[in-house]
Structure 1
Amino acid sequence: MVVAYFLLPLDHLGPQRPVVSWTLFALVLTVVALLLLRQVRHVLIDRPDSRPGMVISLLILLSVHIFSATYYALAKQPGEFTGLHTRVDALYFTVVTLATVGYGDITPQGQSARIVTVLQIAYSFVFLTAAATALTQRIRDTVVRRTERDRPG
């Protein structure tokens, strides 16, 4: 996934194709959010044939790369970001925002960049937190079942 992020032709997105860029961002992020919610549902109904550990982890990683790609494309527009010039910068800013660290070396200056940053924070609160909580619950339930099964008696 990381290799794909660095190889995707992201230079064709951004200010020269704003409608395509925003549509693609919204579509892909919506699909990933729906897939995350589906995995959360599988955990809540204790669906035994699902593999939420792998799927949720991949979808969280995909979410990070979607926001990174969006930030990289937005940075092509003058005045949107200070300090964001490369794909590594975009990935770094995404992870720093996700971790709520905010070092301040890269800052969203333009309205579009600030909107996407707010969307990332809200998306993290709602979808990534729900997915991580569901995954933790699934792991906890699995450990309890195995412990009870292996207990002599």
Structure 2
Amino acid sequence: MSSPSRPGRRVALLVFVRATAITAGLVTAYFLLPMEGVTADSVAWLVCGLLAVMVVFFWEVRTITRSAHPRLKAVEALAATVPLFLLLFASAYYLLGRSVPAAFSEPLTRTDALYFALTTFSTVGYGDITARSQAGRVLTMLQMAGGLLLVGVAARVLAGAVQAGLQQRRGRARDDAGGERP
């Protein structure tokens, strides 16, 4: 029997399956959606995509605080936010590489662009693909700054949301048991 503070295996499995499905769906869309070269529209899509990452993140924070299982919901939030962020930049790198062939040290396939985005995010360094153009370097710096914010600020915000969700859950449990809320 599972205690109220620990979700059952079934709930954990469901969260794992949903997180995997979200990530798989985003990666599939990245590889299947048509992408052309950089245009004013693609720059607007990048800005809208970054705003979408922020909206998804803050919506997930709100959901975590109201969840019966805030820790698991935080894992699911990361499974939506981090891949969305990485795939957004991978798309931008791919489009830039197609429009400006000298932007990177070699032509980028979608896999190469995703590899470059993940290499930048994980800060393991470069050795094979590097940004050579000013636009490529600016885009890479934006990803670096965004990645630091995503890891640093997002981790703090998610931890706070988990704590708020746990406090709210304890308050509901006290109410259900007939206890008084402070």
Q: Is the 8 A contact 1:81 1:113 kept in 2?
A: yes
Q: Which residue number corresponds to residue 42 of structure 2?
A: 21
> Aligned runs of 1:76-95 on 2, under 5 Å?
76=98, 77-95=100-118
After TM superposition, give the deviation of residue 70 of structure 1 in Å. 0.5
Alpha carbons 2:97, 2:104 under 8 Å: kept: yes
Offset at residue 72 of structure 1 (A): 0.4
What residue in structure 1 maps to residue 60 of structure 2?
Answer: 39
Q: Which amino acid counterpart does residue 13 of structure 1 have in structure 2?
A: G
1:55 equivalenced with 2:80 (yes/no): no
Partner of 1:113: 136
Matched, 1:122 2:141: no
Q: Distance in 2 between matches of 1:53 and 1:39?
A: 10
The TM-score with structure 2 as length reference comes to 0.65
Instruction: Quote the Cα distance in structure 2 between the aligned partners of 1:123 and 1:67.
Output: 10
Question: Over alpha carbons, which structure has the higher Rg?
Answer: 2
- Shift of residue 42, structure 1, vs aligned partner: 5.5
Q: Does structure 1 residue 4 correspond to structure 2 residue 29? A: yes
Cα distance, 1:60 vs. partner?
1.1
Alpha-carbon deviation of 1:52? 3.5
Q: Distance in 1 between matches of 2:74 and 2:141?
A: 27
Q: Distance in 1 between matches of 2:134 and 2:94?
A: 15
The answer for the alignment partner of 2:5 in structure 1 is none
Q: State the alpha-carbon separation in 2 of the partners of residues 102 and 56 from structure 1.
A: 23
Give the share of equivalent positions with the same residue, in percent.
34
Quote the residue 1:65 is aligned against: 87
Cα distance in 2, alignment partners of residues 83 and 133 from structure 1: 37
Closer, same or farther: CA 122–37 of 1 in aligned 2, 3 Å: farther
Structure 2: runs of 5+ lacking an equivalent: 1-25, 174-182
User: RMSD between aligned alpha carbons?
Assistant: 2.6
Provide the rounded CA distance (Å) in 2 between the counterparts of 1:84 and 1:29: 25
Residue 47 of structure 1, CA deviation: 3.0
Compared with structure 1, are the counterparts of its residues 57 and 136 closer, same or farther at alpha carbon in structure 2 (3 Å cutoff)? farther
Q: Distance in 2 between matches of 1:104 and 1:33?
A: 31
- Equivalent pairs counted in the alignment come to 138
Bigger drift between 34-43 and 22-31 goes to: 34-43
> Take 1:7 and 1:23, find their aligned partners in 2: how far apart are those partners?
20
Distance 2:107 2:154 in 1: 29
Runs of 4+ in structure 1 over 2 Å off:
37-43, 46-53, 127-139
Which one-letter code corresponds to 2:37 in the other structure?
L
